[in-house]
A and B are shown apart, each in its own frame.
Chain A
Amino acid sequence: MTRRPPAVLLLPALLALAFLLLPLLALLLRAPWTELPDLLSTPVVGQALRLSLVTAGLATVLCVLLGVPLAWLLARANLPGRGLLRALVTVPLVLPPVVGGVALLLLLGRDGVLGRPLEALTGLTIPFTPAAVVLANAFVALPFLVLAVEGALRGADRRYEDVAATLGAGRWHVFRTVTVPLVAPGIAAGAVLSFARALGEFGATITFAGSFPGRTQTMPIAVYLALETDPDAAIALSLVLLLVSVAVLAVLRDRWTGVRV
């Protein structure tokens, strides 16, 4: 299997690799390394990083709790119009995130379809809170998890589940003790993808949750604002986001999943 790949494939492949990696290399080259400690020790950076990690983490939890059952429904249940349902689930994947943010505002905003009765009943408003960041993150990240888990469920051998059912296990019992362990790598991969997507979320977040340091200003928004006045600070922040993303992927790949993500 050591045949030389044909140049017609090798050349574009190398171009693609360069295209993906060179911008990141430029980021590393241009990083203001000597000023980095000063730039990164400002409270804004710590706040934004903490907020990003916490909200992306919570969004991932939300995605797993809601997304795994939905994926199961799409892969296993006998639903009419399943194809349409699956297509609808993927809409946030192709929707510009800003549009997602506007849609969330129209549903859950103070004047929104659900937001207005919510405020009238409980006095709670969602926009401009960390909860809004979590919701915006989950909205854009959930399709990644659903698709990953659904793929794993379709690829899994159903005979294990059938055998468990024949042996008298109820459907919930089968789901818990057979299905979930069977597709655990798929769930983990989906969770990692969701987390990564949530961590980089910008458009839906700034539209739905706004931007306030320590409350709703996540790392990507901090990068954007820093770019307005202080490009060096923006590079430093980008660098942190890059390192965190790579670290998350590396750690999760090695320790938890055993799958290549």
Chain B
Amino acid sequence: MRQLALALALGLVLSGCADDPAAGSDEVVVLGAASMAEVLEDLADLYEQEHPGARVVLSTGGSSGLARQVVNGLPADLLVLASPGSLQPVLDAGEQREEPVVVARNRIEIAVREGNPKRLSGLADLARPELAVALCASQVPCGAAADRALQQAGVTASPDTLEQDVRAVLTKVRLGEVDAGVVYATDVRAADDEVDGLPVEPPVTTDYPAVRLRGGSAPDAAQDLLDLLRSERGQALLVEAGFEVP
């Protein structure tokens, strides 16, 4: 009998702790790029206030990782990623309910410590050998964007580290371990008491596509959320966080 109970308990654990009885069709699962975490949290709060009983389950992380989870079968209703490229595997796998829409744009900037003590003025300074510089690795969207910007500006940067995500670059700037890092405007905004952002010329932006997923069980709620994000109030949240709206 005890073995049976154990086996049942194990079965419950394996079948996923999220399956609590209260979870009905009122739950909508949103996966979002890490750089949009705060906006999506605010959006979720707004949505839950206006739809009593509804619950938004939000998971944020690196775009490629989220896309990989969707392709591997993670059930979710709405997906918002930080670049069209990272969404491609999801589209290739046919997980979308319809064509993705661009909900925001993010500009890349050079993050330096508050007050710009090393007197950087633009991308060309990233080639100065005496400066410690952090970029994202080319494999992740922020790195691809940085590479594009450097290429357009004809600058060969001398990075000291190629980080696995944009927040790691920001952290290294905040801790003073590097003098400059290429991040998104939204990251600079999120840490504006510790870092300053310098514009990149010519400007480089990345599109944030959003798409409803077939694996989700709340397509209507997902559409409502998407509409809310694209409404005036949603766009105000985006702008406040440093995004540009299309």
A residues lining the B interface (CB < 8 Å) = 8, 105-106, 109-111, 125, 127-128, 206-207, 209-213, 216-217, 221, 224-231
Contacts and interface: CB of A to CB of B under 8 A. Distances in A.
Interface residues of B, number: 21
Interface in B199-246: none
A111 B117 CA distance: 14
Contacts, number: 64
A55 B125 CA distance: 32
A110 B139 contact: no
Contact of B3 (A8, A106, A229, A230): A8
A206 B164 contact: yes
B59 interface: no
A110 B132 contact: yes
Given A211-B137, A216-B161, A109 B68 contact: no
Contact of B62 (A209, A216, A226, A228): A228
B177 A109 contact: yes
Chain B CB count within 10 A is highest, among A109, A221, A228, A229, for A228
B88 to A, nearest CB: 11
Given A206-B164, A210-B161, A212-B162, A127 B177 contact: yes
Contacts of B172: 210
Chain A CB count within 10 A is highest, among B3, B62, B134, B177, for B177
B160 interface: yes
A230 B175 CA distance: 31
Contact of A212 (B3, B140, B160, B177): B160
Contacts of A216: 161
Given A210-B162, A228-B62, A228-B140, A111 B176 contact: yes
Nearest to B179: A110
A212 B159 contact: yes
Interface string B156-194: 000111111000100010011100000000000000000
Contact of A225 (B139, B159, B176, B177): B139
A227 B66 CA distance: 12
Nearest to B165: A228
Give the top 6 A-B pairs by smallest Cβ distance, nearest first. Answer: A210-B161, A111-B176, A228-B139, A128-B160, A228-B64, A229-B139
Interface in B74-112: none
6 contacts: A128-B161, A210-B161, A212-B161, A216-B161, A225-B137, A228-B139
Contacts of B139: 225-226, 228-230
A60 to B, nearest CB: 24
A229 B141 CA distance: 10
A154 to B, nearest CB: 36
A8 B3 CA distance: 8
Nearest to B89: A231
B195 to A, nearest CB: 14
Contacts of A207: 168
Contacts of B160: 127-128, 210, 212
A232 to B, nearest CB: 13
B163 A211 contact: yes
Given A128-B132, A210-B162, A105 B175 contact: yes
A227 B68 contact: yes
